[in-house]
């Protein structure tokens, strides 16, 4: 899909659809700048069909009336301008950013249903956000809302397949620097999110650890990153017992993909680590069959990290160095697989009693965290993982669980999530939780009891970060089946984490 800016006369647009946005005006008719559209809005308002409520749509066909040459006109309601109250830390500006994002998604949703291929979107002259933020968020919603994954659909029913959007023009009267920067920021973030969705949507027999390595090398070539891929031989040499143990039941060789974006030695280094479990059967502690096909999504943390690196490559931030690590493997019950009760040694020498082989993500993350911190000495570390079912019980599919040993880093991540519509909720850490993972036969065990499962999983990871500022994002509830929004309506991967990490980098000081 091509998305660009235009200043051409909107009333001469002859494409498939032209879109306007209006605010709800209480008992008054919503106001649109185009008089012909305004007349139709007024008729719809009087009929009780359209009031401009947030997410409300009005679609009509002007052809033959001599007013607008476009085939369709779509009017999207934005709600009342005074609405946008803070929500659990999100500012009114954050709320409106997501309102515009949702509005953009609603445009794409309607376009796909009507098989519309070419759209002109009239960017509202918002007095709530500045022009840059307005066009940025609408662009994100348009691209994310247009996303489809139909690579393996070779046949289709006559009325099954929604249309594919091919071209979007964003209209403003002037093409100044703020407008173009907003469009580029929205495009970079959304396309990176779509890249993460593509990775996650691939089946486990296609998206293997080797494919993670190939994608990392492709990013390195495209954006001049440094890429290093640790092989099984390297892992044996480094005594990475976590990823080697999890991989021991699989025929697919493990990979640890490492990307480096460097600016200057004086700048701080941010380490990003993403869980790359390309398929998780649970190992010997086998998962129940129902829903196991969704375990191809267990690599969404790794996908988010590489997606963020794609956007970072596009934007090239100047004040920060970034290292991304994705430990990638399968977890299968092969003849040499880890068994409950086995003891393994993580990079750096700490021993782990493996109580449950289905608590495998923390084992591969432990190696990646310990290795990354020792080798790259980062100022801060953020890891993302579809780690625990417990986080879904606690937070549902609406917020990512956040646990951290550093209040300032946690604050930055919470703010980043609010700005990009990927909200998080911070959970506590403390020695009382770490006691639950003490082992009688090794340094620690990989699961505690059932209570506070998300927290004890993070307490396990905390064992491998030392004094480094660190935050853990448990995305098990949000990486797929995330809150239903017009730009995340597909039942599948959301690309969660990509835009949060990008926003964190953008605001880093």
Residue pair 311/502 in contact by the 8 Å Cβ criterion: yes
pLDDT the model gives residue 488: 92
Q: Cα separations (Å) of 356 from 29, 283, 284, 360, 463?
A: 61, 9, 8, 8, 18
- Position 84 scores a pLDDT of 62
Tell me the C-alpha distance between 24 and 31, whole Å: 8
Q: Answer whether residue 157 shows pLDDT above 90.
A: no
What is the structure's pLDDT at 227? 98
Strand ranges of the sheet holding 444-445, from the earlier edge strand across to the other edge: 343-345, 351-353, 444-445
Residues with Cβ < 8 Å from 246, sequence gap 6 or more? 254, 277, 283, 329, 331, 338, 357, 360, 363, 364
What does the pLDDT read at residue 115? Answer: 93
CA–CA dist 446, 429 (Å, integer): 16
- How far apart CA 188 and CA 195 sit, in angstroms, is 11
Q: What is the pTM of this model?
A: 0.96
What is the rounded distance in angstroms from the CA atom of residue 371 to the CA atom of residue 216? 18
- Terminal-residue alpha carbon distance, the chain: 34
- Residue 87's pLDDT band, with cuts at 50, 70 and 90, is low
Task: Please name which of 449, 470, 346, 456 lies closest in space to residue 407, comparing C-alpha atoms.
Answer: 470
Architecture of domain 196-506: 3-Layer(aba) Sandwich (3.40)
The pLDDT of residue 153 is 86
The pLDDT assigned to 175 comes to 85
Reply yes or no on whether the pLDDT at 44 is more than 90.
Answer: yes
CA 341 – CA 382 distance, rounded (Å): 30
Q: Report pLDDT for 292.
A: 97
* Residue 351, both tokens: 């021993």
479-507: pLDDT as tens digits: 999 999 999 966 789 999 999 999 999 99
What does pLDDT average to over the chain?
95
- DSSP lists the bridge partners of residue 279 as 330
Do strands 255-261 and 118-122 pair parallel, antiparallel, or not at all (unpaired)?
Answer: unpaired
Residue-level pLDDT at 364: 98
Quick one: pLDDT at residue 294?
A: 96
Residue of 67, 217, 228, 287 marked catalytic: 287
Got the DSSP string for 303-356? HHHHHHHHHHHHH--SS-EEEEEEEEEEE---TT---TT-EEE-TTS-EEE-S-
Note if 362 is an active site residue.
yes
Q: Look at the block and give the residue holding tokens 């996908």.
A: 303
Nearest to 78 by CA among 16, 120, 34, 141: 141
The answer to whether 350 is a known catalytic residue is: no
User: Helix (H, G, I), strand (E, B), or coil: what is residue 282?
Assistant: coil
Q: Give the Cα separation of 206 and 199 in Å (integer).
A: 10
Model confidence band, residue 90 (pLDDT cutoffs 50, 70, 90): confident
Domain assignments of the chain as residue spans, ordered by start: 2-172, 196-506
2-172 placed in CATH 3.40.50.2300: no
Quick one: average pLDDT of 362-384? 98
Distance from C-alpha of 106 to C-alpha of 123, rounded to nearest angstrom: 14
* Whole-number Å distance between alpha carbons of 72 and 115: 11
Q: How many CA atoms lie within 13 A of 343 on its CB side?
A: 9
Q: What is the pLDDT of residue 491?
A: 76
The average pLDDT across 453-466 equals 98
Q: Residue 506, CB half-sphere, CA atoms under 13 Å: how many?
A: 19
Q: What is the pLDDT of residue 85?
A: 62
Q: Note the pLDDT tens digit of each residue in 395-428.
A: 999 999 999 999 999 999 999 999 999 999 999 9
**SS3 at position 398:** coil
Average pLDDT over residues 227-254: 98
Q: Which DSSP string corresponds to 146-199?
A: H----TT-----TTTPPP---EEEEE-S---HHHHHHHHHHHHHHHHHHHHHHH
* pLDDT given for residue 64 in this prediction: 56
Q: What is the pLDDT of residue 339?
A: 98
Mean pLDDT of 120-133: 89
**Active-site hit among 97, 362, 399, 499:** 362
What's the rounded Cα separation, in Å, for the pair 505 and 263? 13
Report the chain's C-alpha Rg in angstroms.
24
Ranking 271-275, 293-297, 460-464, 487-491 by mean pLDDT, the lowest is 487-491
- Any alpha helices (H) in 444-485, and if so which ranges? 453-462
* 467 within 8 A of 125, measured Cβ to Cβ: no
Instruction: Please state, for a pLDDT cut of 70, what percent of the chain lies above it.
Output: 97
Structural tokens at position 236:
């044996």
The count of other CB atoms within 10 Å of the CB of residue 318 is 8
- Please state the separation of Cα 34 from the chain's center in Å: 36
């Amino acid at each position: 899909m091509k998305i660009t800016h235009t200043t051409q006369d909107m009333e001469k647009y002859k494409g498939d659809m032209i879109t306007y946005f209006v605010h709800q005006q209480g008992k008054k008719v919503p106001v649109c700048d185009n008089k012909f559209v305004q007349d139709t809005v007024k008729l719809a308002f009087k009929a009780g069909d359209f009031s401009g409520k947030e997410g409300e749509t009005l679609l009509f066909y002007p052809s033959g009336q001599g007013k607008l040459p476009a085939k369709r006109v779509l009017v999207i309601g934005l709600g009342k301008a005074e609405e946008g109250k803070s929500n659990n830390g999100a500012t009114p500006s954050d709320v409106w950013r997501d309102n515009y994002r949702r509005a953009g998604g609603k445009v794409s949703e309607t376009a796909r249903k009507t098989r519309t291929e070419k759209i002109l979107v009239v960017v509202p002259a918002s007095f709530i956000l500045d022009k840059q933020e307005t066009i940025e968020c609408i662009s994100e919603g348009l691209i994310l809302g247009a996303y489809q994954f139909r690579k393996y659909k070779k046949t289709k029913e006559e009325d099954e397949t929604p249309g594919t959007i091919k071209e979007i023009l964003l209209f403003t009267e002037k093409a100044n620097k703020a407008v173009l920067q907003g469009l580029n920021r929205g495009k970079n973030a959304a396309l990176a999110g779509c890249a993460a969705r593509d990775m996650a949507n691939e089946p486990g027999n296609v998206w293997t650890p080797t494919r993670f390595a190939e994608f990392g090398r492709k990013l390195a070539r495209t954006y001049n990153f440094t890429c290093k891929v640790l092989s099984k031989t390297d892992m044996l040499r480094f005594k990475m017992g976590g990823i080697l143990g999890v991989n021991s039941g699989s025929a697919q060789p493990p990979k640890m993909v490492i990307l480096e974006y460097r600016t200057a030695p004086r700048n701080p280094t941010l380490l990003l680590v993403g869980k790359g479990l390309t398929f998780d059967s649970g190992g010997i502690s086998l998962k129940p069959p129902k829903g196991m096909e969704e375990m191809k999504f267990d690599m969404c943390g790794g996908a988010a990290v590489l997606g963020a690196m794609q956007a970072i490559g596009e934007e090239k931030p100047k004040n920060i160095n970034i290292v991304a690590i994705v430990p990638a493997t399968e977890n299968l019950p092969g003849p040499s697989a880890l068994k409950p009760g086995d003891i393994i040694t993580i990079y750096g020498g700490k021993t782990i009693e493996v109580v449950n082989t289905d608590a495998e993500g923390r084992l591969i993350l432990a190696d990646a965290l310990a290795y990354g911190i020792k080798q790259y000495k980062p100022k801060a570390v953020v890891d993302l993982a579809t780690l625990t079912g417990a986080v879904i019980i606690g937070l549902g599919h609406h917020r990512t669980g956040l646990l951290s040993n550093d209040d300032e880093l946690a604050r930055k991540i919470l703010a980043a999530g609010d700005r990009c519509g990927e909200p998080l909720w911070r959970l506590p850490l403390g020695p009382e939780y770490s006691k639950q993972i003490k082992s009688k036969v090794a340094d620690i065990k990989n699961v505690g009891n059932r209570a506070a499962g998300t927290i004890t999983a993070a307490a396990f990871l905390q064992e491998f970060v030392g004094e480094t500022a660190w935050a853990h994002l448990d995305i098990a509830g949000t990486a797929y089946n995330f809150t239903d929004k017009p730009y995340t309506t597909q039942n599948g991967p959301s690309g969660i984490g990509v835009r949060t990490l990008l926003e964190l980098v953008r605001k880093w000081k």
